[in-house]
Amino acid sequence: MKVEARSTLLEPTAIEEGWQDLRATIWAFPWSRVDHGERAWSKLTCGPVLDLFDRLVKGTAEQGKTLLREVARTLAAELSDESRVTVYEYLYRVFLGELVERHLVHGGLKGCERLLKRRASRILSDASQTGSFPTFDQDEGLIAALCCAGQYVPLHTYHAHLTGVPRSILARTRGADAVRLLAYLAFHMRRFSPVLELHMPKTLRQRLTVEQLTEDYLAASQIIGANPSIHGTYGAAWFFDPVLRTITPSLGEVLAFTAANGALIVCLGTDPSTVADATAKSRTRRQMYEDGTYVPKRYLRLWARRRILQWAKTQTRPGGPQ
């Protein structure tokens, strides 16, 4: 019997195949510098590599980032560029190997094996092309390592983790937005937790497009579909601001796509990190902010389980989402 890709995520055989695929992908990579990397690592003051990995698994994601940044500083201070590349290769070999042997999936979520394999394949093919792995002083490397340690689930460009909608947001919305938020929480989300919080890396190199977001939300909907306890997605970003329809029309499309498909978007106000993010890449927005004609604001986006799954059904492609 031919079974659709999306529904097989719940089948134990498909889960095991997902891990075997990932294992095969890791083994197929030519880890030619791992021995050199292991020797170089053993001379550092960072301790046994498995202790490091265990701390990543057992701590919080924020603690993990702090730890990995310390490792990055040690590597930068104590090793030549050439040896550092070999140590990163060794660390990725160990981390990916531990992920696959321990079946580490964030929150024990079902249906994540293919997403993990897709991210691992991307890391390995990038490493084949560039000759190096993403370092831990960059978001890309931190997210990759924390996905291996079960702290995040990799989506497409986003990564996600289980959380609750913070009740503090109720105090940050005003007027009609406050009423819409309460109604959406009561009638669509139904509970504050668990929800899937979606994060975008700070260092996204591509442009943000509807096609790219579609891949991310399809990945999120696969996880939500496979895990009945999740009530929807939660996220906050300056690029859901309706004012961008006129200032930056390409990002306005991103907003229109999510809102038209049943997500709730309400304003949470501004703060320095919102201003920094919104003005980081665009000269136009930076100039408008300096002139006082644009104040970046953060917008909350909730997308309730039933609504995102309804949208995902309209996106089914031959063979299911890849």
Choose one: 49-57, 107-115, 159-167, 281-289; the region binding ligand COA (CB under 6 A): 281-289
Pairwise CA distance, residues 195 & 233, whole Å: 5
Tokens 């490493």, residue located:
127
If binding is defined by CB under 6 A, does position 313 make contact with ligand COA?
A: no
First to last CA, the chain: 20
- Geometric angle at alpha carbon 282, from 281 and 286, rounded to 5°: 110
Choice between 222 and 248, CB closer to ligand COA: 248
Pairwise CA distance, residues 301 & 80, whole Å: 45
Choice between 24 and 210, CB closer to ligand COA: 210
If binding is defined by CB under 6 A, does position 281 make contact with ligand COA?
A: yes
CB of 156 to ligand COA, least distance (A): 13
Pairwise CA distance, residues 55 & 57, whole Å: 5
CA-based nearest residue to 22, from 88, 133, 106, 116: 116
CB of 197 to ligand COA, least distance (A): 12
Pairwise CA distance, residues 296 & 279, whole Å: 8
Pairwise CA distance, residues 103 & 97, whole Å: 10
Choose one: 31-39, 93-101, 138-146, 200-208; the region binding ligand COA (CB under 6 A): 200-208
Choice between 100 and 198, CB closer to ligand COA: 198
Question: Looking at 31, 261, 277, 309, which residue binds ligand COA (CB under 6 A)?
Answer: 277
Choose one: 64-72, 78-86, 198-206, 302-310; the region binding ligand COA (CB under 6 A): 198-206
CA-based nearest residue to 285, from 246, 236, 235: 246
The one-letter amino acid at 237: A
Q: Which H or E run includes 50? A: helix 49-58
Pairwise CA distance, residues 150 & 275, whole Å: 31
Question: Looking at 100, 145, 251, 268, which residue binds ligand COA (CB under 6 A)?
Answer: 251
CA-based nearest residue to 197, from 247, 163, 238: 163
If binding is defined by CB under 6 A, does position 272 make contact with ligand COA?
A: no
If binding is defined by CB under 6 A, does position 282 make contact with ligand COA?
A: yes
Choice between 92 and 303, CB closer to ligand COA: 303
Residues 230-249 interacting with ligand COA (rule: CB under 6 A): 237, 239, 248
Choose one: 4-12, 183-191, 213-221, 277-285; the region binding ligand COA (CB under 6 A): 277-285
Cα 262 to chain centroid distance, Å, stands at 22
Choice between 207 and 317, CB closer to ligand COA: 207
Pairwise CA distance, residues 73 & 77, whole Å: 6
Choice between 86 and 248, CB closer to ligand COA: 248
By CB under 6 A, how many residues form the interface with ligand COA? 17
If binding is defined by CB under 6 A, does position 198 make contact with ligand COA?
A: no
Q: For binding to ligand COA (CB under 6 A), which residues are involved? A: 200, 202, 204, 207-208, 237, 239, 248, 250-251, 277, 280-285
